Amino acid sequence: MINGKYLTFMTTFNPFFFLEKIAPRVLSSSNVSLEGTEIRVKLNLPFSIACYVEGRPKPKITWLKDGENIDEIFENNDEVSLSDDNQILNFKVVTKKYEGKYECNVKNRVGHIKPFANVIIEGLSDTNLVITIVSFTIIVIISFSFVIILVIRIKKNKIIRNDMLQLELFLLREGNVSKLNKECTIEEQAEMLPYDNSFEIERENITLGKQLGAGAFGKVLLAQVKGLNGKESPTRVALKMCKYEYDKAHLRALIMELKIMIHLGKHLNIVNLLGAHTSNIDKG
Ligand SMILES: Nc1ncnc2c1ncn2[C@@H]1O[C@H](COP(=O)(O)OP(=O)(O)OP(=O)(O)O)[C@@H](O)[C@H]1O
């Protein structure tokens, strides 16, 4: 009563306002929620999780990491601290061990809520970085050694193959006349026959022309050969060569044919051999 008159309040005045109890609730400025929030943090940077709440009486806040009280987990860890009435959980430097589910346990006499956030740390930790570098180095060393071993093997095989080829060529050229006998098959006998070097013609004296025909392993070309039988002018010849120059079996068959023709000598009724070029056989 003022000056003898009653004043009436226009608002609904609640005399028990300060006694009214309100269950805790999360304020929107928080970065935790009741459904869980995903927080992605870069490694080695500082970060905080905020859990701003209201309620009456003033709620008490405790924090949990993966279900365990952080006071116990981060005891004696000065990288982790709480501020603003426990509403903010601070991390000085983020490392992989801080990844997990953080629950903000909010309680007063009226209610209890547990908003939470899942913290994901992005980037490689020092240990992972070391493991990655070591693994990468080991892989590089193994691959490098493997390549070196492979190259050495290939080279060795090449040398062996080359030696064998040289030996084979020597036998093909020289034959094995001392072992020649009529008991051997025609093919064996042909192999034992020697090549006659007087038939050899230099490659530069041969000019290849069009193809005349082909058989199973060889093809026959028209060719001009200079210096045959002491003649200065080129002689027109039929020249037989391998169809597939790197096919060893074909090469062998051609050499046998050549040796047999040398052995038979000239005859009116057979195609006569005028010459041969064999010096590049090892190159196919
Ligand atoms: N002296 C030649 N003059 C003209 N053409 C020839 C001569 N020799 C071969 N030819 C042609 O080339 C073809 C193949 O001859 P080649 O001697 O290679 O026959 P082949 O002995 O049946 O074959 P292969 O020895 O490969 O089994 C012949 O069918 C013929 O058309």
Q: Going from the N-terminus, what domains does the chain have, and what CATH number goes with each?
A: 20-123 (2.60.40.10), 196-283 (3.30.200.20)
| HEC secondary structure over 28-56 | CCCCCECCCEEEEEECCCCEEEECCEEEE
Query: Which residues lie with the beta carbon below 6 Å from any ligand 1 atom?
Result: 212-218, 220, 238, 240, 271
> In testing the pocket of ligand 1, which one of 210, 211, 212, 237 has its CB within 8 Å of the most ligand atoms?
212
> Rounded to the nearest whole angstrom, what is the distance from the C-alpha of residue 215 to the centroid of ligand 1?
6
Per DSSP, what are the bridge partners of residue 175?
none
Ligand 1 atom at minimum distance from 271 CA: 1
> Rounded to the nearest whole angstrom, what is the distance from the C-alpha of residue 282 to the centroid of ligand 1?
24
Cα-to-chain-centroid distance, residue 103: 43
- Is 182 one of the annotated binding-site residues? no
Please tell me the residue having the least CA distance from ligand 1 atom 16.
215
Q: CA-to-CA distance for 191 and 174, rounded, in angstroms?
A: 9
| pLDDT for the residue numbered 244 | 83
Q: CA-to-CA distance for 255 and 174, rounded, in angstroms?
A: 12
Q: What ipTM was reported for this prediction?
A: 0.93
Contact indicator for 47, 73 with CB cutoff of 8 Å: no
Burial class (CB in 10 A: 0-12, 13-18, 19+), 284: exposed
**Listed residue (265, 260, 270, 264) closest to 186, CA to CA:** 260
- Is 179 one of the annotated binding-site residues? no
Q: How many residues does the chain have?
A: 284
79 three-state secondary structure: coil
Q: CA-to-CA distance for 277 and 275, rounded, in angstroms?
A: 7
| pLDDT for the residue numbered 14 | 61
| pLDDT for the residue numbered 4 | 45
CA angle (128 as vertex; 125, 130 as ends), nearest 5: 110
Across the chain, which has 284 residues, the per-10-residue mean pLDDT values are 46 62 91 91 90 94 95 90 94 91 95 95 79 94 96 89 77 83 87 90 95 92 92 92 82 88 90 89 70
- Is 220 one of the annotated binding-site residues? yes
Q: CA-to-CA distance for 116 and 128, rounded, in angstroms?
A: 28
| pLDDT for the residue numbered 279 | 80
- Give phi and psi for 151, each to the nearest 5: -60, -45
* 21: amino acid identity, one letter: K
| pLDDT for the residue numbered 15 | 62
- Give phi and psi for 277, each to the nearest 5: -120, 110
